[in-house]
Amino acid sequence: MNKQNAREYFSKAYRIDHRIRSKFEQLESLNALATRATTTLSAMPRNPNRSTSTMADVIARIIDLQEEINQDIISLVDSKREIMTIIKSIENSEYQTLLEKRYLCFLTWEKIAVDMCYTIHHLYKMHNAALEVCSKILNQDT
């Protein structure tokens, strides 16, 4: 496994986290829709082919989306656990800190640079070296 593959491997947690956030936004939208929905009572006859329970459909969709979010959270926790195992096997504590902040806390390069008191350019060099070490570790595991 090369550095690019190691970077992609570590980035999967970020992608899962992003997907969870997106689903939470969808869930908020559906919940808002469900709370705004009102029933109109009318003596007019209804079309028998038309769905009579749009609220039930919305609630079913909310429940399905909540289950998807729960599954994604389980996947995120598993992914972070795998990543943490690899990061902890690195001997250099600076590399560990850098990779944890980037791939487990999802911090920006700027924030990491401030936290670790390094320039961004130096962080990039450290990051490349850390990924090289991770590539070797991942190659040993396969």
pLDDT tier, 6 (very low <50, low <70, confident <90, very high otherwise) = confident
What pLDDT, on the 0 to 100 scale, is given for residue 22?
95
Domain of 52 in residue numbering reads as 3-141
Q: What is the pLDDT of residues 55-74, one digit of tens each?
A: 788 888 889 999 999 999 99
Query: Hey, what are 127's tokens?
Result: 């990051």
- Over 60: is that where the pLDDT of 52 sits? no
What pLDDT, on the 0 to 100 scale, is given for residue 44?
57
What pLDDT, on the 0 to 100 scale, is given for residue 82?
93
List C-alpha distances in Å: 71 to 7, 85, 125.
24, 21, 36
d(CA 96, CA 114) in angstroms, rounded, equals: 16
Q: Residue 116 in contact with residue 98, Cβ under 8 Å?
A: yes
- Over 70: is that where the pLDDT of 139 sits? yes
DSSP assignment letter at 20 = H
Q: What is the pLDDT of residues 83-121, one digit of tens each?
A: 999 999 999 999 999 999 999 999 999 999 999 999 999
Tell which wins on pLDDT, 1 or 133: 133
- Over 80: is that where the pLDDT of 45 sits? no
Predicted model pTM? 0.75
Q: Quote the number of domains for the chain.
A: 1
Beta-carbon contacts of 107 under 8 Å, excluding residues fewer than 6 positions away, are 101, 115
Tell which wins on pLDDT, 37 or 106: 106
